[in-house]
Structure 1
Amino acid sequence: MFGSDLSDEQLKTVIQGPGDVEWKYEMRRECQEILPGLLLGPFVASKSLDTLRNLNISHIVCIRDQKEAFSVKPRFPDQFVYLVLDVEDNEEQNLIRLFPSAKAFIDSAIANGGRVLVHCNGGISLSPAFVVMFVMQHYGLSWEDALHMVQNRRYCISPNGGFLTQIKEYEAIYRANRAVASYPEMPRNVSRRKREDDEDGDDRDDDRKRPLVDHTATPFQPMMSIPVDDPYAMET
């Protein structure tokens, strides 16, 4: 369900999240459901096969710094569908360029009834940045509301300054893309008809430009003409 399908009051409830959850420090080692079918957490949550099965996880997005590849990696490749993204956890890393592949993976999984866990090493900066961008576009939220929505479910998230800047920039990008997609496209048959009308107009112009003198007249149908360059043509 997209933001345009919800009333303002419903969106407000979505952003606020459950109000009866008492956050405890050890909960940062668990994963939390951000929206139906999308969970966010640390790598440690992806290491327990029992936990993943209890949560009915079917797909996992593993986001890691390349330096962590030896430890942060798919643990059960024969049990779940994985997407692995190598991302540097620093403020210069371009997340916007990598986000479309993650979004397509998550969209496809949820559309087919799957449940997706998105994780990085600690579930604090890297993976939350991707999830904030996802829920922002999914519900049509501002970057601030999307950030609050994720924080209200996983209180410990804290994207670094560079990621936060890109989250802000992505709001303008997705809104522009949505505006372009909703702009009505001119039917192709209209442009074709316009070309045909233009061609007909050229023919009419040719008719107007035809000379009054028929140089193909036969001897049995004589047509007289007056040379326009004869200075005495009008003299009697």
Structure 2
Amino acid sequence: MFNGNLTEEQLKNVIQGPGDVEWKYEMRRECQEILPGLLLGPFVASKSLETLRSLNISHIVCIRDQKEAFSVKPRFPDQFMYLVLDVEDNEEQNLIRLFPSAKAFIDTAIANGGRVLVHCNGGISLSPSFVVMFVMQHYALSWEDALHMVQNRRYCISPNGGFLTQIKEYEAIYRANRAVSSYPAMPRNVSRRKRSDDDEEEENRDDDRKRPLVDHTTHTYRPMMPVSVDDPYAMET
């Protein structure tokens, strides 16, 4: 779901975000809307059914360290659609491998008019990394602009060093995928024609190898006679 219709000025405004928001420490325990239909926050924000309903949340991405699975878990599975990702909240965790499933879940939800909350335990490092990668690809931003965009809405985010490295790497990945998808495909009939020409050329070579010797003066077939090494006149003409 690439939004490539924004002007440079509009993108600048998107990255800067609302300038009239005064960030307060207690807002860490709340969720913030990063782009239309996508919200980011801590686990505590997903525990209040009243809050979720007031925000018209329909889908929730629950990203948790495997050690937290006993407490960080879907609280209202009969009320919302959930995607649960079990990861390790450390710098060695591969987020890029897990991101496609999260992106597909978010894309589908928003495309169908839903609103998605993405959360981890604190909403500081793990879940923000996924959201930064999402908005980076959604708006075709650099990793710096994507990070600033999310930070300008949820000021407390701070991906760890390993996650930040992967965010940088993902910019090259998504740009390469976009370049490949935009490259015009070669018509299939061209490859078939080339194969047909190659086959015909090969057949012609086979015919040349099988063609009998011909007397070019009479255009008649003249078989080669065996030559005896014992005949002293064998080589005379």
Scaled by the length of structure 1, the TM-score of the pair is 0.88
Deviations 1:192-226 (A, max 9, x none): 11111112223444555534528xxxxxx993638
Query: d(CA) in 1 for partners of 2:24 and 2:66?
Result: 30
Deviates more, 1:36-45 or 1:205-214: 205-214
Query: d(CA) in 2 for partners of 1:108 and 1:232?
Result: 90
Deviations 1:54-75 (A, max 9, x none): 1111100001111211111100
Residue pair 1:41, 1:122 contacting (<8 A) in 2 also = yes
Q: Secondary structure at the match of 1:4?
A: coil
1:63 maps to which residue? 63
Map of 1:189-208 to 2, 5 A cutoff? Answer: 189-206=189-206
Deviations 1:13-59 (A, max 9, x none): 11111111111111111111111110001111111111111111110
2:103 maps to which residue? 103
Deviation at 1:137, TM superposition (A): 1.0
1:213 maps to which residue? 214
Q: In structure 1, which of residues 214, 220, 223 is the aligned counterpart of residue 220 of structure 2?
A: 223
**What is the RMSD of the two structures over their aligned residues, measured on CA atoms?**
2.2
Scaled by the length of structure 2, the TM-score of the pair is 0.88
Residue pair 2:124, 2:159 contacting (<8 A) in 1 also = yes
Query: d(CA) in 1 for partners of 2:152 and 2:220?
Result: 94
Matched, 1:172 2:166: no
1:218 maps to which residue? none
Residue type at the aligned position of 1:62: C
Residue pair 1:3, 1:141 contacting (<8 A) in 2 also = no
Residue type at the aligned position of 1:142: S
Residue type at the aligned position of 1:185: A
Q: Secondary structure at the match of 2:85?
A: strand
- Structure 2's unaligned 5+ residue stretches are 228-233
Residue type at the aligned position of 2:61: V
Residue type at the aligned position of 1:52: L
Aligned length: 227
Query: d(CA) in 2 for partners of 1:127 and 1:188?
Result: 43
Query: d(CA) in 2 for partners of 1:224 and 1:80?
Result: 88
Residue type at the aligned position of 1:130: F
2:126 maps to which residue? 126
Residue pair 1:15, 1:149 contacting (<8 A) in 2 also = yes
1:217 maps to which residue? none
Query: d(CA) in 2 for partners of 1:186 and 1:173?
Result: 23
Q: Secondary structure at the match of 2:40?
A: strand
